[in-house]
Chain A
Amino acid sequence: MTWVSVVIHGMLLGGVYALLASGLSLMFGVMRIINLAHGSLALVGAYMALLLTEHLHISTYLSLAVVLPGALIVGYLLQRTMLERSLRAGQLVPLLTTFGLLIVIANLLQRFFSPDVHSLDAGRIGPASWQVSSSLTIGWFDVLTFGLAFAVLGGLQVVLKYTQLGRELRATAEDPDTAELVGVNARAVYARATAIAVATAALAGVFYGIRSGFDPNAGANELLYAFEAVVIGGIGSLWGTLGGGIVLGVAQSVGAQINTEYFALAGHVVFLVVLVLRSMRQAGALRLLRGKVA
């Protein structure tokens, strides 16, 4: 029964990673932009929620009504001002720009909010849980997070597959010049997609902030897990990211059950194994891709 509990908690933990990874999966997997500041933008969302709850005395969940639209605007501007220019200089340049942004955000947060650990109020749902059996208790908040990850990834998948924005986004990712030639405003499409990605990051940041404490440097660590979830699940597949998050969460949870020190290690090992297997299989496909670019 202990192991069932371990696996179920691992899956729920995976929901947390999947939620943060959803926007990353959209940008990294579909648009081919590596946004190293994704975790930091999530953190900014958490800090904005903190400001709102402390000063306006509203619930954390209500603060999302301000945080999410704000994140959409930030995402749109981020693409138009920084990423778009970086992308024009090559696919690796956004890596440098967003790494810079990560450092700037961490320092700004430290300057304005101090290096202390903060946390967000979970509201009434926080301590509520469901006692399944003597050894298995499931927290409602964890279930809510998991459900949200499911909804966000599912929603993104539907947008990508069945809407005009989704088609235009995939077309632009494959060939931006030709997309423009068939009437797609490629820059606006990318800006809208980045806006959505940053909004999901902020959402994930707020839920992360409720779940555990955060400090100005928490962004980078969370980003690593989110990246692993995207890669394990398969780059470009949003449903895969949910699976990737679950695999990572379960691995960490099982690892920690064997020895608490193995928590992070077990996740990284699974990630490495998947990466090696995948790159072996994709070696052929990559060669094809390079041939096409050249």
Chain B
Amino acid sequence: MSLLTVEELDVRHGLLQAVRQVSFEIAEGEAFALVGANGAGKTTLLRSIAGAHRLTGGRIVFGGRDITSLPAYKRVKAGIALVPEGRRLFPNLSVEENLRVAGAARRSGRWTVDAVLEAFPLLQPLRRKRAASLSGGEQQATAIGRALMTNPRLLLLDEVSLGLAPIVVEGVYRSLATLIEAGTTVLLVEQDLARAMSVADRVVCMLEGRIVLEGLRGELTREQVTAAYFGLDRREATA
């Protein structure tokens, strides 16, 4: 049974239609990557699933329950957690406080402050530091830890490698791989194709608000995804 079902989703930012008729399913335990160029609608789609954007049309079913009209904070309780683009920590709260804020809505599960600090040892000595004083990599670890504190059934990750040094990205992806191995269902938005294809079971490519390519990791070649990424197929078809 699928954990998340998105049916014919439409989302607008004012006059701009950012997501058009998007449908897909994610199975429990799956690692799902959403790739695409800037402005393809990936972030909007992710934020709509988390409840931060109102839909113009379509339906979202999570764990067999229609959550389309559920506010964001209730979706967290239902088991959806988002690691937002740009990390968006609470700058004047300490690392531990950032984690504890999210801990209020937690479902029962293995993630506690101690478990997060154990999973991200670099945060251990920083737990009383203000989030604003951390480096980019430390902030990203805190942001992922904060999302984990809610013990999500589905973890949404938006551009976790953006603005980080390659070596730091390496570390973030290593911990991500551990999470995926442990059975966490992950929906990952990523601009870096190679990264996305290294951890995901399934890759979906968006272009101008639509899904243009979808397939299992083994089935897709880099060239196919690249063509879909830039919309090359379509141009050939019209030529």
Question: Is the Cβ of A174 less than 8 Å from the Cβ of B91?
Answer: yes
| B93/A170 in contact, CB under 8 A | yes
Q: How far is the CB of A224 from chain B (nearest CB, A)?
A: 28
A171 touches B105 (CB 8 A): no
Identify the stretch in B95-103, B193-201, B219-227 within 8 Å (CB) of chain A at 4 or more residues: B95-103
- C-alpha spacing A186/B147, complex, angstroms: 17
Do A177 and B101 have beta carbons less than 8 Å apart? no
Contacts A167-B101, A171-B101 given: A182-B92 contact, CB under 8 Å?
no
Q: Complex Cα distance A178/B106, Å?
A: 16
Kindly state whether residue B163 has any CB partner on chain A within 8 Å. no
- A181/B50 contact (C-beta < 8 A), A164-B104, A168-B104, A175-B88 known: yes
* Number of A positions contacting B (CB below 8 A): 17
Stretch from B5-13, B76-84, B117-125, B228-236 that touches the partner: B76-84
Query: Contact between B93 and A182 (Cβ–Cβ < 8 Å)?
Result: no
A-B contact count (CB 8 A): 68
Cα–Cα, bound, A177→B105 (Å): 15
A184 contacts chain B at the CB level, 8 A cutoff: yes
Q: Does the CB pair A181–B90 fall under 8 Å?
A: no
Let me know if A183 and B102 touch, CB within 8 A.
yes
Contact (Cβ within 8 A) B90 A175:
yes
Chain A contacts for B52, CB-based, 8 A: 177, 180-181
Contact residues, B104-159 vs A (CB, 8 A) = 104-106, 146-147, 149-150
- Bound together, the chains give a CA A224 to CA B105 distance in angstroms of 39
Docked-complex contact B51 and A182, CB < 8 angstroms = no
**A77 within 8 Å of B (CB atoms):** no
Closest CB-CB distance, B87 to chain A, in whole Å?
A: 9
Q: Is A129 an interface residue (CB 8 A)?
A: no
Q: Residue B73 at the A interface, CB < 8 A?
A: yes
Q: Which residue of A lies closest to B147 (CB)?
A: A182
Q: How far is the CA of A238 from the CA of B185 in the complex (A)?
A: 43
Q: How far is the CB of A157 from chain B (nearest CB, A)?
A: 15
B90 touches A183 (CB 8 A): no
**Residue numbers in A under 8 Å from B88 (CB-CB):** 175, 178, 181
The answer to the question of B57 belonging to the interface, with a C-beta cut-off of 8 Å to chain A, is no
Q: A167-B101, A182-B149, A183-B77 are in contact. List 19 more A-B contacts (CB 8 A).
A: A164-B100, A167-B97, A168-B104, A170-B92, A171-B97, A171-B98, A174-B91, A174-B92, A175-B88, A179-B90, A180-B52, A180-B71, A181-B76, A181-B88, A182-B102, A183-B104, A184-B73, A184-B104, A185-B71
